[in-house]
Amino acid sequence: MSRGPGWEAVRDLIRARVTAGALMPGDRLPRDEDLAVELGCTRTTVQRAMQALTEDGLLERRRRGGTRVRPDPVARPRVEIPVVRQEVEGRGAVYGYRLETAERAVPPGEVLAAMELTAPEEMLRVCALHLADGRPWLWEDRWVSLATVPDILGVDLGRVSANEWLVRNRPWSRGAMRLSAAVAGPEEAGRLGCAAGAALFVTERTTWAGALPITHMRALAPPGYAVLSRF
């Protein structure tokens, strides 16, 4: 058999037709089978391309109803959330880490809610500062579920950050994230080495292993911090 275009080529070609205006939002595309014949590949290949474009938010597909360009193409960029150490080292800086506190406590209601818990339970609270070239990069206030991750108590969190240990030792299956902005109070300003009143970038993240909450974290970053994404 001769070999037709690959599914990525088909994906790019369809996307190009939309981008160039040959297909407009709301328009219906040919059936997969017709496209396959036109392009000289099998329906499987067209299907794989369509699957990717649907996931990207460009197309809508319905059985019997066919494939359409979404009337409102959305953007669904993936943002990459690496381990903090790698984020810092990836920018060519030297990573540093300072543990501030690590103690047992019962988290406040909003943290329990974020972890989808209804009953209060004791957890490990870890506050720490991540540094890039010796300068404050990210301050984190983290709650770790002792019910899900009792082993964390045996870890020397002065040497390994909770972030790194958890990532390597308790993989999650799902998570939730919230990005926002906040004003630095005097306390945060001191921790992050910026002026009080500065605008901080706030990342909140919760991870679960199935239904079990692993950890909830609130991280503050000083001015200059940004999340980037290409799509």
Residues near DNA (CB under 7 A) are 1, 3-9, 29, 31-33, 40-45, 47-48, 50-51, 54, 61-67
Binding region for its own copies (CB under 8 A) out of 32-40, 95-103, 133-141, 196-204: 196-204
DSSP 151: G
Contacts of 218 (CB under 8 A, 6+ apart): 140, 141, 142, 202, 203, 204
14 binds, among its own copies, DNA, none (CB under 5 to 8 A by kind): none
180 binds its own copies (CB under 8 A): yes
- The HSE-up count of residue 218 (CA atoms within 13 Å, CB side) is 12
67 binds, among DNA, its own copies, none (CB under 5 to 8 A by kind): DNA
Residue 11: CB minimum distance to DNA, A: 9
Tokens coding 167: 């990532």
Tokens coding 19: 């981008």
Binding region for its own copies (CB under 8 A) out of 65-73, 91-99, 103-111, 120-128: 65-73
Tokens coding 97: 């880490």
Residue 13: CB minimum distance to DNA, A: 12
69 binds its own copies (CB under 8 A): yes
- The HSE-up count of residue 108 (CA atoms within 13 Å, CB side) is 4
Closer to its own copies at the Cβ: 104 or 174? 174
210 binds its own copies (CB under 8 A): yes
Q: What distance in Å separates the CA atoms of residue 188 and residue 192, rounded to the nearest whole number?
A: 6
24 binds its own copies (CB under 8 A): yes
DSSP letter for each residue of 104-133: EEPPPHHHHHHTT-SS---EEEEEEEEEET
* CA quadruple 170, 176, 181, 186: dihedral, nearest 10: -40
Closer to DNA at the Cβ: 30 or 82? 30
Q: What distance in Å separates the CA atoms of residue 83 and residue 88, rounded to the nearest whole number?
A: 9
80 binds, among DNA, its own copies, none (CB under 5 to 8 A by kind): its own copies
Residue 20: CB minimum distance to its own copies, A: 7
Q: What distance in Å separates the CA atoms of residue 124 and residue 152, rounded to the nearest whole number?
A: 8
Query: For binding to its own copies (CB under 8 A), which residues are involved?
Result: 15-16, 18-21, 24-25, 57-58, 69, 71-83, 86, 167-183, 197-202, 205, 207, 209-210, 223, 225-231
